[in-house]
Amino acid sequence: MEFHPWIVSAPVDFGAVRTEFGLASEYPSEALSEARGAADAFAGSRADLRDIPFVTIDPPGALDLDQALYLERTPTGFRLQYAIADVGAVIAPAGALAKESLTRGQTYYLPDGAVPLHPTVLSEGSASLLPGQDRPAALWTIDCDDRAEIRHCSVQRALVRSHARLDYAGVQADADAGRLHPAIAALPEFGRLRIESGLSRGAIGLRLPAQTVVRDGKGPARDGDSGDGEQRWQLVVEPRMAAEDWNEQVSLLTGICAARIMLDGAGGRRIGLLRTMPAPAKSALDTMRRTAAALGVEWPEGESAGRMLAGLDTGTPAALALMSEATGLLRGATYTVLDGETPEVLRHSGIGAPYAHVTAPLRRLADRYATEICLAHCAGTPVPDWVRDGLAAAAESMRRCDALAGRLDRACIDLTEATVLAQRLGTAFDAVVVREANGSRPAEVFVTTPPVVAKCVGGPPEGWRVRVRLIEADPTTRTVTFAFPAD
C-alpha cells in the first residue's frame, strides 16, 4: 500500500452511528408546531432589564445561546448578573414539546450536526439569547465579596437583550491585549479567584487534551483521496484557553447558588434536582499517589488531588498520565431528587460543593426543572405541580441521556480514529503512555499525530515516551490497537 504521510483525514459516515444509537431525526409535527407558536407565558410581568449590556460567550457558529452575562467590580467585591434563556416560560408543561424533550433529554452533538433537545426554531431562534433581540430570561443576581465568595444570590424572571456575541478565542485575545468588553472586564480576575475557591473546596479539574473531530477544511477531494467528493474528517486537539476556564466558573458558581437555594428550601421543605457525585474512593486516591510517586511527581501529604493536578505542566508525559488516572476519581455522577427527604450524597465531589444544572436549558432537560424550583423559592411561591410531579422522570431521563451522550461521543471519535488510521497499518508512531496495563485491561497511549488515544499491547510503562506500531485499525468495530515496542 502506498503511504501518504500527510493524509490525516478520511471520509466518515456518522449516519451509521446515529442509526446504531437510535437518535431521533425529525421532530414530531405537533411538537414542532408548538415550538413555532411558542409565546412567553410571563410576558408583561417581567422586570425590564434590557438596559444592562449583557454579552454572550460561545463557540464560533453556535446559535443555541443559553447564557448572557454582565459582571462588574463593586466597592465590596463583584456583582454577577447572569441571564439564562427562560425555556420554562415558552414550553407548555403538558404539551407535545414537553413530552418529546423528556424523551430526548439533551442535545446530542455529532461532528456532522446536532440532534437538538428542542426544535431549532426555538433553541436557535425565538428562545436563544441572540444579540439585539428582546428575550425572556431567568436572571441570576449573585453578589460576591472581594475573594469572589458568595454573599447573596437570587433569580427572577426578566426581559433582557444581549448587546454582543463573543467567542472564546476573541475573548482570550482581548484579555491578552487588555481590551475586554466592559461587560466582562472583571472576568479574568473573577475567574481566577473562583478557580482558587474551587481548589480550596477540594474541587478536581482535569485538563486532558480535548480530542475533537472536525471537517477537513482543505476540501472534499485531494490527491490520494477516493475522488468521490465525500466530505473528509480529521482529528484535532483543541487547546484549552483561560477564557474558557473563566467562563466555566461563572456557570459553576450559578449552579452552586441554585443548589444552595434548593437546600435552603421554602418553608423548611427541600425540593430540588441536584447533580451529585460521591467522594473519590480511597483505593482510587491510593492508586493516584502510587502513580505520582512512580512518575516522580511531588504530592505533599495533606494536599488535595485537585491542587496537585492544577500544578502540573500539561505538556509533560507525567501530567498526561496522572490526568488520565484522575478520571477514576470522578465516578458515580448522577441526578438526585429532593422532595422533603435528605439523600445520603448531596455534594458534587468534582466541584467540591452541592451543585445543580441551571445554565443550559436550551440543551439540557434538567435545567428547566431546576430553574423553576429556584424561581419559585426566590419568589416565595409554591413549586409548580408539573415540576414536582415530573422530577423523578426528569432525573431518569438525564441519567439515561448522559450515558448515551458519553458513548456517542466516544463512538464518533473511535470511528474517525479507525478510519483515518486504516491506511497506515504497520506504521510506527511516537506516543505517550497515559495508562499502564492492569490485569485484563491493556495499556493506553496517546499518539500526537494524528491525535489518537488507543489501547497498546506489550505493557509499556506509564508516563513514558515510546515508539509504538499500529497493528489494528478497523472502522467496522471502531477498534485501534498499537503494539510496543515498535520494532
For 76-127, the pLDDT digits (tens) are 999 999 999 999 999 999 999 999 999 999 999 999 999 999 999 999 999 9
Q: Do residues 326 and 305 touch, judged by C-beta distance below 8 A?
A: yes
Residue 122 half-sphere exposure toward CB, CA atoms < 13 A: 28
In 3D, which of 348, 353, 339, 203 has the Cα closest to residue 275?
348
319, pLDDT greater than 80: yes
309, pLDDT greater than 80: yes
Q: Give pLDDT, residue 449.
A: 87
Cα 112 from Cα 93, distance rounded (Å): 31
Q: Do residues 119 and 35 touch, judged by C-beta distance below 8 A?
A: yes
E-strand spans in 168-256? 210-215, 232-238
**Which stretch of 11-20, 109-118, 210-219, 388-397 has the lowest confidence by average pLDDT?**
210-219
Quick check: helix, strand or coil at residue 317? Answer: helix
Q: What is the largest CA-CA distance in the chain?
A: 74
229, pLDDT greater than 60: no
The DSSP H or E segment spanning 389 is: helix 385-421
Cα 327 from Cα 205, distance rounded (Å): 10
Q: How many CB atoms lie within 10 A of CB 303?
A: 12
**Which stretch of 93-102, 214-223, 259-268, 312-321 has the lowest confidence by average pLDDT?**
214-223
> Average pLDDT of the chain?
92
**Cα 212 from chain centre:** 13
221, pLDDT greater than 90: no
Burial string for 17-40 (b: 16+ CB within 10 Å, else e) reads bbeebeeeeebeeebbebbeebeb
Place of cell 424550583: 373
Q: Give pLDDT, residue 224.
A: 35
In 3D, which of 184, 187, 195 has the Cα closest to residue 162?
184
Cα 2 from Cα 425, distance rounded (Å): 11
Q: Do residues 72 and 78 touch, judged by C-beta distance below 8 A?
A: yes
pLDDT band at 225 (very low <50, low <70, confident <90, very high): very low
75: left (phi over 0), alpha (psi -120 to 50) or beta: alpha
Q: Give pLDDT, residue 268.
A: 65
| Surface-to-core class of residue 197, CB atoms within 10 Å of its CB (0-12 exposed, 13-18 middle, 19+ buried) | buried
Q: Give pLDDT, residue 439.
A: 87
Q: Give pLDDT, residue 171.
A: 98
128, pLDDT greater than 90: yes
- Is the sign of the CA dihedral 173, 177, 182, 184 positive or negative? positive
Cα 472 from Cα 167, distance rounded (Å): 39
pLDDT band at 265 (very low <50, low <70, confident <90, very high): confident
| Surface-to-core class of residue 363, CB atoms within 10 Å of its CB (0-12 exposed, 13-18 middle, 19+ buried) | buried
